[in-house]
Amino acid sequence: MSIEIPKTQKGCIFYENHGEIFYKDIPVPKPKANEILINVKYSGVCHTDLHAWHGDWPLDVKLPLVGGHEGAGVVVAKGENVTNFEIGDYAGIKWLNGSCMGCEFCQQGAEPNCPDADLSGYTHDGSFQQYATADAVQAAKIPKDADLAAIAPILCAGVTVYKALKTADLRPGQWVAVSGAGGGLGSLAVQYATAMGLRVLGIDGGEDKGKLVKTLGAEVFVDFTKEKDIVKAVQKATNGGPHGVINVSVSEAAISQSCDYVRALGKVVLVGLPAGAVCKSPVFQQVVKSVEIKGSYVGNRQDTAEAVDFFVRGKVHCPFKVVGLSELPRVFKLMSEGKILGRYVLDTSK
Ligand code: 8ID
Ligand code: ZN
Ligand code: ZN
């Protein structure tokens, strides 16, 4: 089977950090021997895409750059060495586009920690275009009957929070606090945690987010815009503090707070990446409470398969709104104002 592939396509591209984002005709990339070419139908917009555009992190982006790393679509071409995908299969673009597969980290299945990791929408043009390339080894497998718009947010947000919850290593019945619970990662974290049998306390701002977070499975919602003493409120609601915290807010203060309200022997998982942030934990408290603070970075191929399986079985579903690819700048604006419930998903045909 061969599918006709155009020479040019629509994509969102920027030439400098914080520079104008152009929605325009750009060339369709050609897959290398190890790559597949995916006709991206839908792409989620992750806060990481906004960090990349702003140049928030001590890691250079490729310029010019086509962002995006939650792309779901159809395989339309493949390089000569690709054996695990056929033309017509559904496939997903993840943050980890490819890695060396030879270093000590890749060897133990920690491919995201590979020093030579190639990152979609960061060092490799991503899913904010109609056709994107991905290393076939790392591209996500998507089942044939999946809803491509609904599954897109699973490819980064879902995988990341699922892996973060595994990193927290909690038992069913224990409390987990999700800080940033109403956003893209947070709304999925609440659902994965609930599906794993955990008791969830969500923290975010505003009544709409509170309502959403409770609908998704949280027993308690703490509104950071209204609550004066968040540490006290969280500890009271969880009878002494949550056993684990998943930090997906884009707030340095919220991250440090979580080191305060976590229960003794608890685990604080760092996921959100506010620009220049430092995690402050009072050493005395951390020692006496024997708190663990752990970083968690997306997930590997197995985490991806497991996170997708929760979606396929109907256990998690990111609340999302579909808009055209050309509307990316508006989505970034809403995101920077903290106004997005769940995710915005871009339809690449508009
Ligand atoms: O592998 C990783 N570690 C990884 C993977 C994917 C994304 C890390 N991230 C990072 C992103 O780069 C970003 O820094 O996770 C962060 C969250 O991504 P997102 O979920 O895509 O962002 P969002 O949809 O904007 O949600 C953030 C939520 O945080 C809330 C906001 O209201 C929003 O709902 N929030 C903020 I900003 N300040 C808060 C506070 N003080 C807060 N919630 C609670 N307390
Ligand atoms: Zn992401
Ligand atoms: Zn490697």
Exposed, middle or buried by CB within 10 Å (0-12, 13-18, 19+), for 228? Answer: exposed
Q: Is ligand 1 within 6 A of the CB of residue 249? A: yes
Alpha helices in 148-300 (DSSP H): 148-151, 157-168, 184-195, 207-215, 230-237, 252-261, 283-289
- Residues in Cβ contact with 83 at an 8 Å cutoff, skipping those fewer than 6 apart: 136
- Enumerate domains of the chain plus CATH numbers: 8-156+299-347 (3.90.180.10), 159-295 (3.40.50.720)
Q: Is ligand 1 within 6 A of the CB of residue 120? A: no
Q: Is ligand 1 within 6 A of the CB of residue 183? A: yes
Q: Is ligand 1 within 6 A of the CB of residue 335? A: yes
For the stretch 203-220, pLDDT in tens is 999 999 999 999 999 999
Ligand 1: which atom is nearest the Cα of residue 251?
A: 38
CB 71 within 8 A of CB 115: no
**pLDDT at 96 > cutoff 90:** yes
**pLDDT at 134 > cutoff 90:** yes
Report d(CA 92, CA 291) in Å as an integer: 36
**Residue bearing tokens 């050309």:** 326
Q: Is ligand 1 within 6 A of the CB of residue 113? A: no
* Token pair of 333 as six digits: 């604006």
Residue 125 Cα, ligand 3 centroid: separation in angstroms? Answer: 20
**pLDDT at 107 > cutoff 90:** yes
Three-class DSSP labels, 31-72: CCCCEEEEEEEEEECCHHHHHHHHCCCCCCCCCCECCCCCEE
Q: Which of 179, 250, 251 is the pocket-test mutation for ligand 1 (most atoms within 8 Å of CB)?
A: 250
For the stretch 36-52, pLDDT in tens is 999 999 999 999 999 99
pLDDT of 1 reads: 61
Strand partners, 8: 27
Residue 102 Cα, ligand 3 centroid: separation in angstroms? Answer: 5
Alpha helices in 228-300 (DSSP H): 230-237, 252-261, 283-289
Please report which confidence band the pLDDT of residue 3 belongs to, taking 50, 70 and 90 as the band edges.
Answer: confident
**pLDDT at 2 > cutoff 80:** no
pLDDT of 106 reads: 98
Report d(CA 341, CA 12) in Å as an integer: 23
Burial code (b: 16+ CB inside 10 Å, e: under 16) for 255-277 equals bbbbbbbbbeebbbbbbbbbeeb
**pLDDT at 118 > cutoff 80:** yes
Q: Is ligand 1 within 6 A of the CB of residue 47? A: yes
Average pLDDT, the chain: 97
Exposed, middle or buried by CB within 10 Å (0-12, 13-18, 19+), for 241? Answer: buried
Q: Is ligand 1 within 6 A of the CB of residue 78? A: no
Q: Is ligand 1 within 6 A of the CB of residue 242? A: no
Report d(CA 87, CA 97) in Å as an integer: 19
Report d(CA 315, CA 311) in Å as an integer: 6
Q: Is ligand 1 within 6 A of the CB of residue 212? A: no
Q: Which of 248, 257, 304, 334 is the pocket-test mutation for ligand 1 (most atoms within 8 Å of CB)?
A: 248
Residue 23 Cα, ligand 3 centroid: separation in angstroms? Answer: 34
Q: Identify the residue whose C-alpha is closest to ligand 1 atom 10.
A: 272
